[in-house]
Amino acid sequence: MPIASTYEGRTYVAFLDVSGFKKIMEREEEAAKTLDKFYQTIFAETRHFNKGTATTRAKVKSIVVSDCAVIFLNNRRMAEDKIRDLETILCFVREVNQKLIRSPSPLIMTSCSIAYGSFKYTRKFEFGDISKNYFIGWPYVKAFSDNEYGDPGIQPSQVRVKHNTSICINPFCSLH
């Protein structure tokens, strides 16, 4: 299901990437199973995570292409709370990763980088054989660049937050 509305504002954006997918592509059947499991997990967890969140936390939105997902929070209708929002996106990524690792084969590990800033998503149109959507913003660029080229490199199963201020969060997710 496409993201129905546009979003523009300051939010956290995560770039989540399937680790080792280029190597997996050497075995086409395994690559197809990996992508199916990745897509199904992101879809199911996004739907599950957003149930009943109207007043407690921002809604998670996910854009999945090939072996990666761009995940952002739609926090427009809530007072800004960077700690709550960071906890939300970290908990979502953790839940996705646990499902990818714990469920039946293939075992999938991801790497993830998260950044905060101004972000815009717009669904332009969809008809026939084409859908046109775009997203722009420095948090996406920072998260993607850090995941792909960051030093030190992000290893499978690691999540790194690119943030220019110190905030302390509870590492245990109590949002469910």
- pLDDT tens digit at each of 176 positions of the chain: 456 678 899 999 999 999 999 999 999 999 999 999 999 999 999 999 998 655 678 899 999 999 999 999 998 888 889 999 999 999 999 999 999 999 888 999 999 999 999 999 987 777 778 877 889 999 999 999 999 999 999 999 999 998 754 455 555 554 44
- pLDDT in the model for residue 55: 65
Residue ranges making up the domain that contains 151: 7-162
Long-range CB contacts (< 8 A, 24+ apart) of 2-6? Answer: 2/123, 2/126, 2/131, 2/133, 3/61, 3/63, 3/121, 3/123, 3/133, 4/123, 5/74, 5/123, 6/120, 6/121, 6/122, 6/123
pTM confidence score: 0.88
- pLDDT in the model for residue 86: 94
Query: Apex CA 155: angle with CA 93 and CA 107, to 5°?
Result: 65
The total number of structural domains that make up the chain: 1
- pLDDT in the model for residue 167: 52
Domain contains 1: no
Domain contains 171: no
Q: What's the CA gap between 37 and 120, in Å, rounded?
A: 28
Domain contains 175: no
- pLDDT in the model for residue 26: 95
The length of the chain in residues reads 176
Could you tell me if 2 and 133 are in contact, meaning their C-beta atoms sit under 8 angstroms apart?
yes
Domain contains 30: yes
Q: What's the CA gap between 49 and 42, in Å, rounded?
A: 10
Residue 154 corresponds to which tokens in the numbers above?
């992000």
Domain contains 43: yes
Q: State the CATH number of the domain containing residue 55.
A: 3.30.70.1230
- pLDDT in the model for residue 176: 42
For the chain, strand residue ranges (E) read 7-18, 59-65, 68-74, 110-127, 130-136, 159-162
Could you tell me if 51 and 107 are in contact, meaning their C-beta atoms sit under 8 angstroms apart?
no
- pLDDT in the model for residue 56: 76
Domain contains 169: no
Domain contains 137: yes
